[in-house]
Structure 1
Amino acid sequence: MANGSRQAAWEFFGAELKRRREDAGFTQVELGARVFVSGAYIGQFEQAIRKPQLDIARRIDETLQTDGIFERLWRKLIKEQPYTEYFAHVVELERLATEICEYAPTVVPGLLQTREYAQAMFLAGNPLAADEYIEELVKGRMDRTLLLNDATRPVYWVVLHETALRVPVGGPTVMAHQLDHIAALMRERKVLLQMLPFAAGAHPAMGKMMKLMEFEDAPPTVYTEGVFSGSLLDEPAVVKRSRASYDLIRAAALSPEVSLTLVESAAEDHRRCASTT
């Protein structure tokens, strides 16, 4: 489904939600209270600004007694997304965010990846997959990176652990190209990136990625990811603690200027390695 068609389908979801809510005699605030979200969230669902998670769609069905229509619509729309179920909502929120702060402990974040690096990552996780499937995954990843070329792109602040510079994903040539790409984005001021060097030692959230997102007119969220799973949370206390952890990581990281030098040096190391193999 093309992006325009998918958006039209979510707009239908929102219009149907509004119609069913009004038929049941609920205000947005009243429905929100019954499904454990704010009335403002219900309004954003109805305007197709934000997409509900599956458990919210189920609670809406239960409250409005709609015989599972919103769960079925949700599953239909998410199934046709080029992203895994647990990550699809995060992609939608990236497009709406005014600021994204990310900590990446082991690999280059998706928004910064080159096509070759992304392909190597997907092949590593799907060694027996058909080329067509891998290409579909890579295309989804590359579609996300277009966000950084948008005139209305969010402020994007990344702390990248030095591990991500040293592991030769795809081989030294692919890594050199990947790090050149990151350096170019830094020089073009499309990303504010700091490196957390090995010498920094222990730090909060060791080994765990973290993505904090801020919005113009909605509560902030934090996304963390495990093996074949992810958690998107907007509970204020959790987001506050996550922000504090991110600030500690950022305080331990190198300055952007020194970080750029480290990225460029690592790219040269990989290039030298490629020339000797």
Structure 2
Amino acid sequence: MAHRRPTALEIWGRELALARGATGLSQEAFAQRVYVSQSLVAMWETGRRSPKSPDLAHCEEICGTNGYLARMLDLLVSREVDHEWMDRWVSVEERATTLLSFEPTVIPGLLQTKEYARAVQDNDDHVAERLERQRVLDSEVPPMLVVLLPEYVLHHRVGDERVMPEQLTHLATMARRPRIAVQIVPLDSPCYAKFLGPFVVAAIEGGREVAYVDNQLRGEVVERAEDVAFLRAQFDYFRADALPNRQSIELIERIASQWHP
């Protein structure tokens, strides 16, 4: 079996561990000098977290690395491929108690059919990964999933003539599950002017929230509290103008019937 390629943060974490080791400090002693917990230093060194700027500056000062760690972190993460961010997000999805998803252009991945996903992704490996992620909705205790969709997504053709009716029927079926809500933002909503890009806000253990933001180049896991709070406020603003779940299902099914030849 092929070994998993280390992520950018894992590679950087090893550099931090080497620099710390050169000082002769244990993780515990190093953590005390940086004014953080030993567990956080361990997460830095294993690539599970990256330090905030003030903490990174303390690390540089203690290790005497003169900006090397910061330069390496910037270089490695800026060149990292998408799958690292997605791997991190998949782990968030698996631990989430609630997922608030806003998708302004397509049906979100967790609710896509195989043919719709294939039309969007055009890559069998990516399609398989997307379908595998959907298993979280069938877990023993699935997260509460709330999806906001602009109405025009239901009218926008993806794939051939068979794909859209099948996808919309599936969407309506999933929206009837007890822990899934799909709400459609009507075409005449003034919110449309603020629709810039897709994002998901996840609530995980202890009520902590993180987010995933996507764009044309890459996705990014967002952990900064102020940024997550902004996205949550945007979601609440959009949701206030959306149809309730029952009315949204009726609309989805009506549009699905219009897609049939």
- Show structure 1 runs of 5+ residues with no match: 124-133
Q: Which residue of 2 aligns with 1:96?
A: 95
Find the aligned partners of 2:87 and 2:160 in 1 and give their Cα distance.
29
Q: 3-state DSSP class of the match of 2:221?
A: strand
1:11-43 deviations in Å (ceiling 9; x for gaps)? xx6x98998778632339937958xxx648727
- Compared CA separation, residues 16 and 224, structure 1 to 2 (3 A): closer
- Compared CA separation, residues 84 and 18, structure 1 to 2 (3 A): closer
Q: Which residue of 1 aligns with 2:242?
A: 253
- Compared CA separation, residues 31 and 18, structure 1 to 2 (3 A): farther
Find the aligned partners of 1:25 and 1:172 in 2 and give their Cα distance.
63
Query: Are residues 1:166 and 2:155 paired?
Result: yes
TM-score, scaled relative to structure 2: 0.75
Contact 2:198 2:213 in 1 (8 A): yes
Q: 3-state DSSP class of the match of 2:178?
A: coil
Find the aligned partners of 1:267 and 1:32 in 2 and give their Cα distance.
61
Residue 45 of structure 1 deviates from its aligned partner by 3.0
1:233-275 deviations in Å (ceiling 9; x for gaps)? 222222222211111111100000100101111111111xxx2
- Show structure 2 runs of 5+ residues with no match: none
Find the aligned partners of 2:247 and 2:201 in 1 and give their Cα distance.
24
TM-score, scaled relative to structure 1: 0.71
- Compared CA separation, residues 262 and 164, structure 1 to 2 (3 A): same
Residue 208 of structure 1 deviates from its aligned partner by 1.6
Q: Which residue of 2 aligns with 1:144?
A: 133
Moved more, 199-208 or 228-237: 199-208
Across the aligned residues of Structure 1 and Structure 2, the Cα RMSD in angstroms comes to 4.0
Instruction: Give matches, 1:8-47, under 5 Å.
Output: 24-27=25-28, 30=31, 33=34, 39=37, 42=40, 45=43
Find the aligned partners of 1:255 and 1:236 in 2 and give their Cα distance.
29
Find the aligned partners of 1:32 and 1:163 in 2 and give their Cα distance.
54
Determine which of 191, 202, 213 is the counterpart of 1:202: 191
Q: Which amino acid aligns with 2:177?
A: E
Contact 2:44 2:51 in 1 (8 A): no
- Compared CA separation, residues 217 and 259, structure 1 to 2 (3 A): same
- Compared CA separation, residues 255 and 105, structure 1 to 2 (3 A): same
Q: Which residue of 1 aligns with 2:178?
A: 189
Find the aligned partners of 1:250 and 1:170 in 2 and give their Cα distance.
28
Residue 201 of structure 1 deviates from its aligned partner by 2.8
Contact 2:107 2:149 in 1 (8 A): yes
Determine which of 34, 49, 73 is the counterpart of 1:52: 49
1:115-145 deviations in Å (ceiling 9; x for gaps)? 100100123xxxxxxxxxx211111111111
Contact 1:32 1:42 in 2 (8 A): no
- Compared CA separation, residues 257 and 52, structure 1 to 2 (3 A): same
Q: Which amino acid aligns with 1:142?
A: L
- Compared CA separation, residues 233 and 246, structure 1 to 2 (3 A): same
Contact 1:31 1:42 in 2 (8 A): no
Contact 2:96 2:202 in 1 (8 A): yes
Determine which of 201, 205, 208 is the counterpart of 1:216: 205
- Compared CA separation, residues 255 and 119, structure 1 to 2 (3 A): same
Q: 3-state DSSP class of the match of 1:120?
A: helix
1:62-105 deviations in Å (ceiling 9; x for gaps)? 6769999x98xx99xx87xxx63443322221112111101111
Aligned length: 243
Q: Which residue of 2 aligns with 1:177?
A: 166
The structure with the largest alpha-carbon Rg is 2
- Compared CA separation, residues 205 and 144, structure 1 to 2 (3 A): farther
Contact 1:107 1:163 in 2 (8 A): no
